[in-house]
A and B are shown apart, each in its own frame.
Chain A
Amino acid sequence: MGGQETAAPAPPLIACPDCDLLHRVREISSGHTAKCVRCGATLYKPKADSINRTFALVVAGLLLYWPANFLPLMSISSLGETRESTMFAGVRELYAGGAWWVGSLVLAASMLVPLVKLAGMCCVLLPLWLNRRPPAAGFSYRMLVALDSWGMLEVYMLGVLVSIVKISAMAKITAGAGLYAFVALMLITMLISTTLDRQAVCERLGEAR
């Protein structure tokens, strides 16, 4: 592209993300963490069999995503009347109540971002798993990094707990099929962050180029 210039890669050094101190990259075994000697930030953390394990989890997550979002999370009964609710119904009711901005935020943080992250990870990991070069890998990877703090399934889980406590004072509340799928989906997204070895994925992206 015109006016853009790429910089040249440097020798095997790594800079601390939080204080910029340069460290020499050393091989460490998986399960250990390389930390910055000056500020204590994590520099890298090799994980065993990262691409296989993470890819398996991503596939499981993509399957669980749909029941978690569209099957009823909970149902309440009060005075003989029963009502079920899904994650998506919460967004719809916020829109209906005039709080479109709050609804959009909930839609993004609890439904769209987790899906885009799973799909993006699939785009990066599937070709690596098949030993191919991912199409638009740089873009997908950059998007994953940018969305990192905006997927909030575990916060939503806590929201489910708080609303159970709040509602149980008013009506009888029972868990639905969606809730089990949702808990599984949340655990999978948390596991992905423990199995995903960012450095290994980036190196593979570099090699494949």
Chain B
Amino acid sequence: MSATRTTAAGASLVRCPSCDLLCGMKPLPPGSRARCPRCGAAIRPRKPDSLARTWALLIAAAIFYIPANVYPVMMIESFGTTSADTIMGGVKELVATGSWPIGLLLFFASFCVPMLKLFGLACLLMSVKRRSSWRPRQRTVWYRLIEVIGRWSMLDIFTLSIMVALLKMGALLTVVPGIGAGAFAAVVVLTMCAAISFDPRLIWDDAGETVR
């Protein structure tokens, strides 16, 4: 690609977040909004209040993360006995019954991915706050990874929805959703929203790196 020596913001241009059209910004009267002439999306040089919003969503996700792991995601009642499965309990059970590849998959999707999102985004936020110039490209790649893998933590929730519908054999076998499922679903949604509200361009704004 042939790059120029400036950023869009440096050239007083703004990229439409929806259709990618570059728009020239002119001073607007207070209270009015600039809109993309092609698709009509609201355009701003950077995502609004990116740091504050991402922090708020991330902290809320971290709070929900505790009940998500402490309380059971599903209760399986089979032949008169009830077993409550937490997220890690379900993983352990799968490993114990010999299905360790699926257990590993569930461990990755339900434990590693949310952790990676919480810590990864917190580190990115702190680095932007400190105006760090440390490896901006690496940090951008991390952000893209967090954004892409985020949705895979829904795996546990979808599994629950399938099992609840299928295992319903009268008094013999029933699956009931637990409190942990609601909390875990909140963690997934909040971390996804946090990833969306973070603006990776902030990494570069303060990186202090001169454009080649």
Contacts and interface: CB of A to CB of B under 8 A. Distances in A.
B69 interface: no
Interface string B189-212: 100100010001101110000011
B167 A170 contact: yes
Q: Interface SS of chain A: helix, strand, loop or mixed?
A: mixed
Nearest to A106: B161
The 3 closest A-B pairs by CB, nearest first: A159-B158, A90-B161, A15-B8
Contacts, number: 283
Contact of A97 (B15, B155, B164): B164
Contact of B20 (A17, A92, A110): A17
Interface in B8-31: 8-11, 13-15, 17-26, 28-29, 31
Nearest to B26: A7
10 contacts: A4-B32, A18-B201, A20-B8, A78-B173, A106-B158, A110-B158, A141-B19, A155-B154, A169-B97, A206-B38
A19 B35 contact: no
A166 B166 CA distance: 12
Interface of A: 3-10, 13-15, 17-24, 26, 34-41, 43-44, 73-74, 76, 78-79, 81, 83, 85-86, 89-94, 97-99, 101-103, 105-106, 109-110, 137-139, 141-142, 145-146, 149-150, 152, 155-156, 158-163, 165-167, 169-171, 173, 198-199, 202, 205-206, 209
A23 B163 contact: no
Contacts of A94: 160-161, 164, 177
B35 A40 contact: no
A106 B1 contact: no
A138 B196 CA distance: 21
Given A139-B40, A165-B102, A167-B167, A159 B35 contact: no
A101 B2 CA distance: 48
Contacts of B21: 9, 202, 206
Interface string B167-194: 1111011001100011001100100100
B162 A39 contact: no
Given A5-B32, A78-B172, A18 B144 contact: yes
A149 B196 CA distance: 9
Nearest to A34: B1
A14 B20 contact: yes
A170 B7 CA distance: 59
A141 to B, nearest CB: 5
A83 B169 contact: yes
B23 A9 contact: yes
Nearest to B11: A22
A38 B205 CA distance: 13
Contact of B143 (A18, A89, A171): A18
Given A9-B22, A155-B152, A167 B4 contact: no
A139 B112 CA distance: 36
A26 B37 contact: no
Given A73-B162, A99-B182, A155-B155, A41 B1 contact: no
A99 B166 CA distance: 16
